[in-house]
Structure 1
Amino acid sequence: MMHAASALSSPAVGRLDATFRKVAGRVVPYIFVCYLFNYLDRVNVGFAKLDMLDALHMSERAYGLGAGIFFLGYIACGVPSNLMLQRVGARRWLALIMVLWGLLSAAQMFVTGPISFYLLRFVTGAAEAGFFPGLVLYLTRWFPSERQGRALTLFMSAIPLSGVVGGPLSGWMLSHFASAPGGLAAWQWLFLLQGLPTVALGIGMVMLLSDTIEQAAWLAPEERMAVGEALRRDRLEQPKQLADSFGAVLRNPAVWMLGLLYFCIQAGVYAINFWLPTIIRSSGIHDAATIGWLSAVPYVGASLFMIVMGRSADRMRERRWHLAVPLLMAAGGLALAARFPDSMPVALGALTVATAGALTGLPMFWPLCSGYLSPAAAAGGLALINSMGQLAGFVSPYLVGWIKDATQRTDGALALLAAMAVLGVVLVLRMPPTRVNR
């Protein structure tokens, strides 16, 4: 089928490209900052653990369960939250999510033991459930499929950047506030100071973003028409949809396969997010600030690799190998880190490769879903796939904690996660190229 842009004259293509750059410049940066704080919430608990466990007399297994129980709330509320977004509009619903989860994240400073930790993690996950699939759905309403890879990569580069920023920031907070007056422990300050900015960002979302192209007063009328026409052409060029309602989504084996594939990707991502500081400390580094700076190294590499792969995937209009190769990198890096857990240079290099591969798999995955979901089914379908993947957020941290308590090492868990990444490669290579080469 003819590429949508090829039907336009060169000057028209240039004007359309300029319009989409304008759209990206308005929409993506704010979403990027919001998602950065979303992932800081995932990173900071891994650092709070370094002090919190001793202060509250919690075990590694209890921490792993608490870190993972967040995702039980997330999974339970993911689909209802995204369906509600359809009813009330993206801006208002996403803003409400951010305000609520920011307050609950800050409230983790009041944790007194395992039970309160579990409870707050669960309700924070429930509050946050619709945020990521809501953002993905929001971007599909502004960018046609041929431009989604780069847009998703740009906003999802907030994930590795949260590690680049969050690692040193969290390590500095633990060191700086260790002797701060006021009666709060350093880990309590960490939760408070990284949770409250999310509330302000949620309020700002209502004022700065538009729900639809038609409401975008910052675009000229002819620019709104051009973007709308590009999106209509894109829908006409989509292959025959396999699911055009949420009921059809539930009956579609391909959608469940996508959920399993996303589970394999997220298993490695969350293991790295929650346990990277612990793995670094296990290699002999004990200063919190140093751990923070070292933990930023894998995320720097991931940031650069993610942007390169996003541009390559859009330029070549290929998705399958652009996902399979990062997953192979994740598997190899995790396996190497498991083989040399006591060597800091080797372990850190291996974890850098694993982090780059696992995190790059996230934006490479989502454009695949457009070939399986019609616009009518997108809200529920994306939320279902995301919820299945987020189950790894419960299984992966708890599994690592259980193995570490049992063996006093993390290498066995890393090897198992490497095998799951290999399973992900098998799944993505089984997908028909004609459906994923978009």
Structure 2
Amino acid sequence: MNPPIASPVTHSSSRAAEGFDQALYRKLVWRIMPFLFLCFVLNWLDRVNIGFAHLRFKTDLNISDATFGIIVGVFSIGYLLFEIPSNLLLEKIGAKKTMTRIMILWGLVTVATAFAQTPAQFYVLRVLLGAAEAGFFPGVILYLTYWFPASHRARITSRFIMAIAVCGIIGGPLSTSIMSHFDTVAGFHGWQWLFVLTGLPPILAGLFAWYWLDNRPADARWLSQDEKRRIEHALAEERGRRQPGGHQHFLGALKDRKVWFIVLAYCLTIMSTGNVTNIWAPSIIRDSGITSLSQLGLLSALPYVIAVGVMLLVCRHSDQQQERRWHFTVPGLLAALAMLILPQCLGSPTATVATMILMTTGYLSATAVFWTIPTYYLSDRAKAAGLAMVNCCGQISSLLTPIMIGQIKTATGDIRLALYIVAAMVASGALILFFGVPRKALRDAPSTLEKTHD
């Protein structure tokens, strides 16, 4: 990854390093991240289970690929409506109440989806699911800024994003196993059991969140007063050195064209690639010649097994060098290149999976590095609404891209043309961020602990 652009270690950053040492860092990681990681695994499994369920309810309910694309896409309508209000509410009432509400509601809606029998019922439930989940991902990204300074965020974010990879690894085998072994149990189809069994765990996790999460370090009984002081000291040092875009509030951020370049990069690169890797991957692998559900589940997991290791290395290097643009752009272009190659590989399961490994590697690495950019560039007063807006606008891509892919696949009989179009979108997003957000806009990020901890 090149070229590295390291910021000099200042006397101020040295003091921040002393205030946020390795032992405290590890304590925060082990207390906060495992539970948030589990929640995101459940969240992502809840999103992608539709891709596996579709393999069976497509026939059971006579639903076309075009209709399925709409079912996937309308999820974003509810998300768009409630994303920013949910994040503003988190900042006001705290993560404890917000995460409890989000997880319990999305679990209930997922269970209800098991009983949908018509496209209209799927549309309504997917809109409700989007509304229930709105604010979860940007809420967690915002929540992490209350605990960890920017010099640690690529690795912290990568640990959270790793949940996508874990879901990709276990999601395929788990989903196909449920659909195979629970089919006809109690008179229900396997895909119905898939929704029920992936909807119950979030409800339980939501109840546990009320007990486990603390809104901010000051509320944490498991931290000593000295540890709370050191966390606040490190965050204050960061605020003192950080030079955000110059906007003092959310409306000011809306007038900043660099913010919109960041938004476009997220919409075009992250969300477009995610739609292919997370939603359409089962269908793509099946169309390459894999008909066995168990084989399909295992092969769909392989790209994530390899991609997660590369992502962790990329994010570690990004934090060490305090460089974000190259570490986002190169993986983004790798994902676009893989998507261009994929149509030539669809006749071979081996070539298809190998190409999807490249695409998934680029997708996960770009996603993890991406979120260090808006969390640094947005000012503290604009951050809650700004992060929600970035993710909210990304849902526009989640709404339109699967509909476009489904329509093209239904009209032409295959997915090739759609992949070419999405590849162009992904590459455009990567280049928009690289050229639209100059190095100087991000180069002053704090550089504490250049040889930092894991």
Same fold (TM over 0.5): yes
Tell me which of 9, 14, 17 is aligned to 1:7. Answer: 14
Report how far residue 309 of structure 1 moved: 1.0
1:63-212 to 2 correspondence within 5 Å?
63-178=68-183, 180-212=184-216
Equivalent AA in structure 2 for residue 387 of structure 1: C
Q: Give the distance between the partners of 1:204 and 1:82, measured in 2 at CA.
A: 20
Matches within 5 A, 1:220-369: 220-264=224-268, 265-369=270-374
TM-score w.r.t. length of structure 1: 0.96
Deviation at 1:371, TM superposition (A): 3.8
- Describe how 1:399-414 pairs up with structure 2 within 5 A: 399-414=404-419
Would you say the 8 A contact 1:75–1:387 is kept in 2? yes
**Which is worse superposed, 131-140 or 419-428?**
419-428
Aligned positions, number: 435
- The offset of 1:8, in angstroms, is 3.1
For 2:16 and 2:281, locate their aligned partners in 1 and report how far apart those are by CA, in whole Å: 50
**Aligned residue type for 2:283:** T
- When residues 370 and 182 of structure 1 are mapped into structure 2, their CA distance, relative to the original with a 3 A threshold, is closer
Matched, 1:433 2:449: no
Distance 1:9 1:24 in 2: 18
AA at the equivalent of 1:193: L
Give 1:375 deviation, angstroms.
1.0
Confirm or deny: 8 A CA contact 1:267 1:393 kept in the other structure: yes
8 A Cα contact 2:24 2:227, kept in partner: yes
Structure-2 separation of matches of 1:302 and 1:120: 32
Whether the 8 Å contact between 1:171 and 1:293 is mirrored in structure 2 is no
Q: Which amino acid aligns with 2:205?
A: L
- Give the distance between the partners of 1:243 and 1:317, measured in 2 at CA: 23
* Match in the other structure for 2:448: none
SS state at 1:387 partner: helix
CA contact (8 A) 1:4 1:233 kept: no
Aligned partner letter, 1:109: A
Contact 1:335 1:415 in 2 (8 A): yes
Give distance in 2, aligned partners of 1:340 and 1:5: 53
| TM-superposed deviation, 1:327 | 0.5
Shift of 1:46: 0.3
Are 2:16 and 2:234, in contact at CA under 8 Å, matched by a contact in 1? no
| Amino acid corresponding to residue 53 of structure 1 in structure 2 | K
Shift of 1:4: 6.7
Q: Is the 8 A contact 2:84 2:388 kept in 1?
A: yes
After superposing the two structures, state which structure 1 stretch, 266-275 or 31-40, moved more. Answer: 266-275
Shift of 1:339: 2.0
Structure 2: how far apart are the matches of 1:240 and 1:250? 14
Contact 1:322 1:364 in 2 (8 A): yes
Tell me if structure 2 keeps the 8 A contact 1:302–1:352.
yes
Which segment drifts farther, 164-173 or 235-244? Answer: 235-244
Q: Is the 8 A contact 1:20 1:227 kept in 2?
A: no
Give the drift of 1:414.
1.2
Q: Deviations over 1:205-246 (max 9, x none)?
A: 111111111111111111111011000000111014332212
The whole-number CA distance in structure 2 between the counterparts of 1:150 and 1:305 is: 12
Cα distance in structure 1, aligned partners of 2:296 and 2:229:
51
The answer (yes or no) to whether the contact 1:249–1:255 under 8 Å persists in 2 is yes
Please list the CA deviations of residues 243-290 of structure 1 after superposition, one character each: whole Å capped at 9, or x if unmatched.
Answer: 221211222222122111100121011122111010011011111111
> Hey, what's the Cα distance between the residues in 1 that align with 2:407 and 2:309?
33
Partner of 2:31: 26
In the TM superposition, residue 174 of structure 1 has moved relative to its aligned partner by: 1.4
**Shift of the alpha carbon at 1:83?**
1.0
**Equivalent residue of 1:8, what SS?**
helix
- Compute the RMSD of aligned alpha carbons: 1.5
- CA 1:240–1:48 in 2, change beyond 3 Å: closer, same or farther? closer
CA contact (8 A) 1:171 1:290 kept: no
**Unmatched segments (≥5 aa) in structure 1:** none
Distance change >3 Å, CA 184–CA 9, structure 1 → 2:
closer
Cα distance change on mapping 1:327 and 1:4 into 2, 3 Å? farther
Deviation at 1:159, TM superposition (A): 0.6
1:269-315 Cα offsets, whole Å, 9 max, x none, are: 11221110100110111111111111001111221111111111111
Contact 1:4 1:234 in 2 (8 A): no
Which residue number corresponds to residue 36 of structure 1?
Answer: 41
Q: String of CA shifts for 1:65-84, please: whole Å, max 9, x gaps.
A: 01010011111111111111
Of 48, 60, 66 in structure 2, the residue corresponding to residue 61 of structure 1 is 66
Identical aligned residues as a percent: 37
Moved more, 319-328 or 80-89: 80-89
Contact 1:99 1:202 in 2 (8 A): yes
Instruction: Report the AA paired with residue 299 of structure 1.
Output: Y
